[in-house]
């Protein structure tokens, strides 16, 4: 045993300095391109400075020249883990501005797509927390079910990651049978998978010891920092845009908002897991509602807005109006009404807002994205100050920081 007797060094003979460590911009643990400059005392974090902007693509500026439908692919690239939510949020912002009401079936189809996206998003986040705590199995195991979600999207819109799914007013085509078959498969198999995933982590002693107490935040601080989504709910505030300001007929569904208490990594993990169960519930209800539609209603997949919704190709070749609308839409020559609108949806990470100012031209005068990642990443220093370096890694992955959403 070492006691004071064995080490008797004169005062000041050991120089205590802090170490500066660059975590990022291309560190595997950051899961994206952003940087943390950590000031370390041994392994303890004294201060942290975050740098973002490595993949800034000036979407807000680009959007000032684009027609509305051309902005959808830009929103894909914000939170690319749940791109459909961004797409739908943007479509709904446009619909709010243009005063378009979508049919119920469109709303329910959108809800299915958005909740699948939420599951895909949370799944990645939680399994990455597992990877960062040293458990790779969960990540590999659930990945094939994210693949299944991507396959459903692929059936609906043709792409997987940056989906550009849907159009202003609805979807570009109706869901085909394969999409529904795959959705049924997902609904049947996924609960078992999620249960097994929870078995791997939720009561896993190593996982619990790594995550409990890591990066906690109180409800007051979380609100002050503008936290939304699972990160805010983990701190104990039951704010959910789907419930507070329902969009896309979320008021028709029966689901709960899971909340945590301490706002640490473990609570964030639990909240995300619970939300996946709730998302499954919502998808089941929405699928049931879609099957209940009868007659003509059962085939509706877009609103009747000829000025913004592309006509069918066969009409373009045979009908004059359809040809004109087709041309005007593709060239983006339809003027949008002047006004300003803020619309938000519950994204994978929190409240994803679109603030659009229109001066009556063909493109927005100003478009601002409220990107939840960008807003809560600034709390990172407060979350990790005084904790160990290895905690910083978990905090980063459990906040679900997506570089695309931080930089805009």
CA distance 401 to 373: 6
Radius of gyration, alpha carbons of the chain: 24
| Shortest reach from residue 279's CB to other proteins, in Å | 22
CA distance 57 to 53: 9
Task: Give the residue with the Cβ less far from other proteins, 138 or 348.
Answer: 348
Task: Give the residue with the Cβ less far from other proteins, 51 or 144.
Answer: 51
End-to-end CA distance of the chain: 55
| Shortest reach from residue 53's CB to other proteins, in Å | 4
Residue ranges that bind other proteins, judged by CB under 8 A? 52-53, 56, 58, 60-62, 64-65, 96-97, 221, 223-226, 237, 239, 244-245, 339-342, 344, 351, 353, 355, 357, 365-366, 368, 370, 374-375, 377-379, 407-408
CA distance 373 to 352: 9
| Shortest reach from residue 117's CB to other proteins, in Å | 22
Contacts of 342 (CB under 8 A, 6+ apart): 353, 354, 355, 356
Contacts of 240 (CB under 8 A, 6+ apart): 233, 257, 346
| Shortest reach from residue 229's CB to other proteins, in Å | 13
- Using CB atoms within 10 Å of the CB of residue 99, give its burial: 0 to 12 exposed, 13 to 18 middle, 19+ buried: exposed
Task: Give the residue with the Cβ less far from other proteins, 34 or 201.
Answer: 34
| Shortest reach from residue 34's CB to other proteins, in Å | 11
Half-sphere exposure of 392 (CA within 13 A, CB side): 29
CA distance 94 to 98: 6
Task: Give the residue with the Cβ less far from other proteins, 54 or 293.
Answer: 54
CA distance 345 to 269: 21
| Shortest reach from residue 321's CB to other proteins, in Å | 29
- The three-class DSSP label of residue 120 is helix
Nearest to 394 by CA among 125, 53, 34, 45: 125
Task: Give the residue with the Cβ less far from other proteins, 328 or 368.
Answer: 368
Task: Give the residue with the Cβ less far from other proteins, 22 or 288.
Answer: 22
Task: Give the residue with the Cβ less far from other proteins, 57 or 195.
Answer: 57
- The three-class DSSP label of residue 402 is coil
| Shortest reach from residue 380's CB to other proteins, in Å | 11
CA distance 399 to 230: 9
| Shortest reach from residue 216's CB to other proteins, in Å | 16
| Shortest reach from residue 348's CB to other proteins, in Å | 18
The 3 state secondary structure assigned to 80-106 is CCCHHHHHHHHHHHHHHHHCCCCCHHH
CA distance 238 to 375: 19
Task: Give the residue with the Cβ less far from other proteins, 256 or 340.
Answer: 340
Task: Give the residue with the Cβ less far from other proteins, 190 or 374.
Answer: 374
The pair of structure tokens assigned to 270 is: 């639990």
| Shortest reach from residue 342's CB to other proteins, in Å | 6
Task: Give the residue with the Cβ less far from other proteins, 53 or 134.
Answer: 53
């Amino acid at each position: 045993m070492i006691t004071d007797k064995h080490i008797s060094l004169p005062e000041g003979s050991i120089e205590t300095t802090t170490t500066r460590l660059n975590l990022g911009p291309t560190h595997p643990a950051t899961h994206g391109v952003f940087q943390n400059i950590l000031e370390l005392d041994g392994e303890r974090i004294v201060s942290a400075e975050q740098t973002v902007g490595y993949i800034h693509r000036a979407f807000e500026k680009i959007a000032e020249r684009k027609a509305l439908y051309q902005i959808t692919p830009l929103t894909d690239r914000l939170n690319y883990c749940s791109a459909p939510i961004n797409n739908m949020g943007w479509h709904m912002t446009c619909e709010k501005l243009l005063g378009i009401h979508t049919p119920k079936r469109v709303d329910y189809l959108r809800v299915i797509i958005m909740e699948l996206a939420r599951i895909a998003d949370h799944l990645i986040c939680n399994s990455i927390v597992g990877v960062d705590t040293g458990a790779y199995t969960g990540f590999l195991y659930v990945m094939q079910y994210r693949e299944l979600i991507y396959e459903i999207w692929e059936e609906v819109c043709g792409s997987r990651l940056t989906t550009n799914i849907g159009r202003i007013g609805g979807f570009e085509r109706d869901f085909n049978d394969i999409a529904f078959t795959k959705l049924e498969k997902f609904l049947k198999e996924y609960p078992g998978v999620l249960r097994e995933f929870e078995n791997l982590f939720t009561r896993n002693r190593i996982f619990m010891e790594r995550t409990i107490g890591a990066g906690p935040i109180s409800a007051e601080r979380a609100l002050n920092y503008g936290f939304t989504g699972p990160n805010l709910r983990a701190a104990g505030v039951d704010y959910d845009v789907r419930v507070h300001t329902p969009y896309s007929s979320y008021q028709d569904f029966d689901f709960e908002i899971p909340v945590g208490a301490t706002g640490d990594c473990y609570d964030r993990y639990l909240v995300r897991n619970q939300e996946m169960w709730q998302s499954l519930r919502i998808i089941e209800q929405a699928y049931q509602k879609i099957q209940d539609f009868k007659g003509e209603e059962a085939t509706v997949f877009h609103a009747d807005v000829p000025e913004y919704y592309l006509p069918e190709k066969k009409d373009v070749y045979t009908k004059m109006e359809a040809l004109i609308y087709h041309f005007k839409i593709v060239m983006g020559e339809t003027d949008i009404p002047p006004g300003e609108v803020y619309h938000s949806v519950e994204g994978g990470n929190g409240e994803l807002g679109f603030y659009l100012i229109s001066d009556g031209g063909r493109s927005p005068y100003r478009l601002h994205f409220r990107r939840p990642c960008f807003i809560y990443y600034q709390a990172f220093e407060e979350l990790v100050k005084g904790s160990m370096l290895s905690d910083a890694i978990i905090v980063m992955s459990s906040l679900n920081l997506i570089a695309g959403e931080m930089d805009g």
